[in-house]
Amino acid sequence: MGRKDKIENQPLLGSSPNANDQRSQRHSSDPEGGLSTDTPTSDMSCNSEIDEHVLPGNKYHAIPLKTRTPLFIYVLTFFSAIGGFLFGYDTGVISGAMILIRDRFHLNSLWQELIVSVTIGSAALFSIFAGKMNDRFGRKFTILTASFVFMLGAIVMGVAGSKEMLLGGRVVVGIGIGLSSMTIPMYIAESAPYEMRGRLVVINNMFITGGQFVASCIDGAFSYDHTDGWRYMLGLAGVPALIQFIGFIFMPESPRWLVIRGKLDKARHVLQLIRGYQSVGKELQQIEQTSIAAHQAVQEKGQGSVFLEIFRTPHVRKALLLGCCLQMFQQISGINTVMYYSATIIRMSGVRDASSAIWLAAATAFINFIFTLLGVYLVEKIGRRPLTLVSLLGTAISLMLLAIGFQVVATNSPSVALNEPPVGNYSSSCNTYSVCEGCVNNPNCGFCYIDVPTIGVTNGSCLDTLGSDPVMSDYGRCSNSTGLAKDQAIWAYDFCPTAFSWMTLLGLVLYLAAFAPGMGPMPWTINSEIYPLWARSTAVSIATATNWIFNLVISMTFLTLTQTITKYGAFWLYSGLALLGLAFLFFRLPETKGKSLEEVEELFKQESEWDT
């Protein structure tokens, strides 16, 4: 027996010992790969055509098949996308909660960045681990594990009595985000009919933005409870996690994972379930043949790890480069700076009241959600490529508008008119600033002023903050509540009063309107489509980790960037990076609309010298 015969008669990548018997029995009883004679009579097809894959003599031969979209595929997508909702909620809720947490635990900029970013670092690490977990235990087990971890993290954060315990809870939810963000788009793509695949995967992104919007509303609702409001904000994430855990117990495993494990009968049953008892033999045979060919190719190259085989295989390496670059450019265009720090950015633009800033952040999250709905509609209408490129162009332009808005605010910053010297014999760097913008950019300083309705900002001074508690100054008119009431002085330690806040808010709205339909969902959608079955889990985990690594870099550096290169400088930087991504993707991004997962693989086999 030759090498090829040996490979074709092996179970697929860890399949059950009787996999070959199942395959032989299936092809002997149904040479065309169709349903056997005991297939339910309610057999339907996606297309209005005659079923030619029925055994001769079958009394149901040549019955026209009706077009039908089974309800179950939407149920499956809904329970899967709850993981996307949790992804959005747990990453978005911190935007409003941080304003209360900062004051409750007297956090400096480093601790604020750490609490935001530790979730992202945890997600990056466990998105890599999720690839192995998916290969060994399956998509369903991984999603169930993620929903349990989400519940655990919500409980820890809700009862946290210290900033260290809160940090630990953020690590735990990061594990859940890492597992789910890598698995859910892949699970939906592997289960969906090809003509619906893009739309169903984008629904997951719709749930992500929906989670961010709901988180913003929860932030606003509890923003008036300055003592325990943040506990409710963070702890309520346990509710959707419980719903997903219960619902997913009844969901099937991915049919493609079942095929690659040699469980052909189960794969056939799952395909029939999610296709509405359609004639699935031809689809199952195509999946199986692709799996055999991929397994054979790996075996012929040796017993190296899948990770190494990805980099040894030109067309897969090409796909992985594209997938990682899509995820990288999504992050370095600044989206999660906007989402994680939206309330902070709005405060920076000059909005004085914390609750108002939180509610305005909720409004921007709603815009993100609404325009993601537009992406659900457009993805199968105009395709992935034009949607991505137009979105990225709009993102770059709106980032320029954000930068201009902050630059106008800085240019028209109120001046420091009063010099209030510190009490005692120590010097202060705060009284060296001439305008509010420079004053509040220093985390140790704040701007004390009086707002006269007919005149505007008067009698501004730059003072030291009160040590670990920045909500008042260490000395001068804004040093205690009595002084604030007597002189009607206003203390601003994280914003400057301005009449140009609307420019920044407009930039935020346009940014989200441009980003949400394309660059929000398309990196996840395209990554779920472009890899062969044997490499899919590992490649998607690498691309997902790329997303989280750059997410971590951006979120960890945003506040520091605003203090070193100014607020407007940070957004000019993000705009330039978005334009760089646009140039790269214009030449490298193919169209995958209307193609099966197996056909998409063939796209990357063309001109594979591209990545050498």
Contact 165, 181 (CB under 8 A): no
The CA-atom distances, in angstroms, between 544 and each of 124, 234, 523, 568, 580 are: 7, 24, 10, 29, 20
Mean pLDDT of the chain: 82
pLDDT > 70 in the chain, percent: 83
> What is the C-alpha to C-alpha distance for residues 386 and 378, in angstroms, rounded to an integer?
10
Angle between helices 197-222 and 163-191 (to 10 degrees): 160
| Statement: residue 303 has pLDDT above 60 | no
Q: Write down how long the chain is.
A: 612
Instruction: Give the DSSP H/E element, type plus range, for residue 492.
Output: strand 489-492
- Alpha-carbon gap, residue 543 to 545, rounded angstroms: 5
pLDDT above 90 covers a percentage of the chain that reads 35
- Is-contact 521 189, C-beta < 8 A? no
Asked if pLDDT for residue 264 goes beyond 60, the answer is yes
Q: What's the alpha-carbon Rg for the chain, to the nearest Å?
A: 28
Using pLDDT thresholds of 50, 70 and 90, give the confidence band for residue 42. Answer: very low
Whether 331 has a pLDDT exceeding 60, the answer reads yes
Identity of residue 507:
G
The pLDDT of residue 69 is 60
Cα separations in angstroms, 94 against 101, 583, 587: 9, 33, 37
Is residue 30 scored above 60 in pLDDT?
no
CA-nearest of 157, 23, 144, 576 to 334 is 576
Give the contacts of 218 (CB within 8 A, at least 6 positions apart).
93, 96, 232, 233, 236
Sorted by sequence, the CB contacts under 8 Å of residue 609 that are 6+ apart come out as 314
Residue 292: pLDDT over 80:
no
**DSSP characters over 416-483:** -----PPSSS---SGGG-SBHHHHHHSTTEEEEEEEETTTEEEEEEEEEEETTEEEEESSSTTSSHHH
Q: Is 557 helix (H, G, I), strand (E, B) or coil?
A: helix
Report the amino acid identity of residue 252.
P
Torsion of CA 124, 131, 269, 146, to 10 degrees: -40
pLDDT of residue 309: 85
Neighbours of 58 (CB within 10 A): 15
- Return d(Cα 43, Cα 65) in angstroms, integer: 8
Place of tokens 């520091």: 560
- Name residues whose C-beta falls within 8 Å of residue 198's C-beta, 6 or more positions apart in sequence: 379, 380, 384, 525, 529, 592, 593
Q: What is the pLDDT of residue 278?
A: 62
Q: What is the DSSP letter of 589?
A: P
Beta bridge partners of 278: 44
First to last CA, the chain: 36
Question: Is the full-model pTM beyond 0.85?
Answer: no
Least confident of 158-162, 173-177, 255-259, 595-599: 595-599
pLDDT of 548 above 60: yes
When mean pLDDT is compared over 283-287, 416-420, 601-605, the highest value belongs to: 416-420
- At residue 295, the pLDDT reads 65
- Of 34-38, 336-340, 557-561, 595-599, the one with minimum mean pLDDT is 34-38
Tens digits of residue pLDDT in 190-229: 888 888 888 898 899 899 989 989 998 998 889 888 888 9
Comparing 132-136, 200-204, 327-331, 533-537, which segment has the lowest mean pLDDT?
A: 533-537
Give backbone dihedrals phi and psi of 452, rounded to 5 degrees, phi first: -95, 120
Of residues 611 and 313, more confidently modeled: 313
User: Which domains are assigned to the chain?
Assistant: 32-68 (no CATH), 71-407+502-611 (1.20.1250.20), 413-492 (no CATH)
Interval 252-270 mean pLDDT: 89
Q: Which of 419, 387, 411 is nearest to 525 (CA)?
A: 387
pLDDT computed for residue 499 by the predictor: 86
Alpha-helical (H) ranges within 276-383 are 281-301, 306-312, 314-332, 335-340, 342-348, 354-378
Q: Which of 143-147, 288-292, 527-531 has the highest mean pLDDT?
A: 143-147
Residue 490: strand pairing partners: 449
Give the residue-averaged pLDDT of 170-186: 93
Choose among 290, 90, 92: nearest CA to 178. Answer: 90
Token representation of residue 460: 């501004």
Task: Spell 386-401 as b/e; 16+ CB within 10 A means b.
Answer: ebbbbbbbbbbbbbbb
Q: What is the pLDDT of residues 57-107, one digit of tens each?
A: 333 333 334 445 678 899 999 999 999 999 999 988 887 888 788 878 878
Q: Which residue has the higher pLDDT, 167 or 422?
A: 167
Higher pLDDT, 339 or 397: 397
- Under a CB-based contact definition with an 8 Å cutoff, are residues 476 and 357 in contact? no
Cβ 504 vs Cβ 346: under 8 Å: yes
- Give Cβ neighbours of residue 400 (< 8 Å, ≥ 6 apart): 571, 572, 575
> Could you give the CA distance from residue 107 to residue 104 in angstroms, rounded to a whole number?
8
Structure tokens at 229: 């409001």
Residue that has been written with the tokens 């015969």 in this structure: 5
Least confident range from 58-62, 78-82, 157-161, 495-499: namely: 58-62
The closest of 459, 413, 467 to 439, measured between CA atoms, is 413
Q: Return the structure tokens found at 559.
A: 């506040």
Half-sphere exposure of 385 (CA within 13 A, CB side): 13
Sign of CA dihedral 384, 385, 389, 392: positive
- What pLDDT was estimated at residue 294? 65
Residue 437 has pLDDT above 50, yes or no: yes
pLDDT category of residue 302 using cuts at 50, 70 and 90: low
Question: What are 464's two structure tokens?
Answer: 């030291």
Q: Which among 82, 89, 114 is positioned nearest to 101, based on CA atoms?
A: 114
The dihedrals phi and psi of 454, each to the nearest 5 degrees, come to -85, -15
